[in-house]
Amino acid sequence: MSKGQIVVFDGILYGQIPQQLLRDPNIPHAAKVLYGIYHTFAREKKLKDEPQTFVSQKTVGSYMGLHPDRVGLHAHLLQTEGWLTVSRRGMMKSNIITLHEKRRKREKE
């Protein structure tokens, strides 16, 4: 896109959550919603392409009605269970969140 262009999108966007994650009784509802909200902030909308976002816990918390610390706990659970990967970007920067279409091997706690 060149300077001066304005792109207007009037479509409806959705946050996707894999069925296996939705149906997992061991994952709290808030963690499932968090995954979907992360997806709404990702540039790539196909889960098979492993979309990434760097939205802050504060921003996500405002959409979920949760304190940023609670968002971090749910993100950690999803990472531990293999549904996303959190990569650090640096001090005072939000992390890069990579969403996975399928559960990956669980991390050791």
Q: Please report, for the chain, the start and end positions of each structural domain, with discontinuous segments joined by +.
A: 19-99
Residue pair 53/59 in contact (Cβ under 8 Å)? The answer is no
What is the per-residue pLDDT for 10?
A: 59
pTM: 0.82
* pLDDT tens track for 6-17: 655 556 678 899
Backbone angles phi, psi at 65, to 5 degrees: 75, 30
Q: List CB contacts of 39: < 8 A, sequence separation 6 or more.
A: 15, 16, 17, 45, 47, 51, 53, 99
CATH number of the structural domain 19-99: 1.10.10.10
* pLDDT tens track for 53-72: 999 999 999 999 999 999 99
pLDDT over 60 (residue 20): yes
What is the per-residue pLDDT for 66?
A: 96
What is the per-residue pLDDT for 5?
A: 66
72, amino acid identity: G
Q: Please count the residues of the chain.
A: 109
Half-sphere exposure of 50 (CA within 13 A, CB side): 12
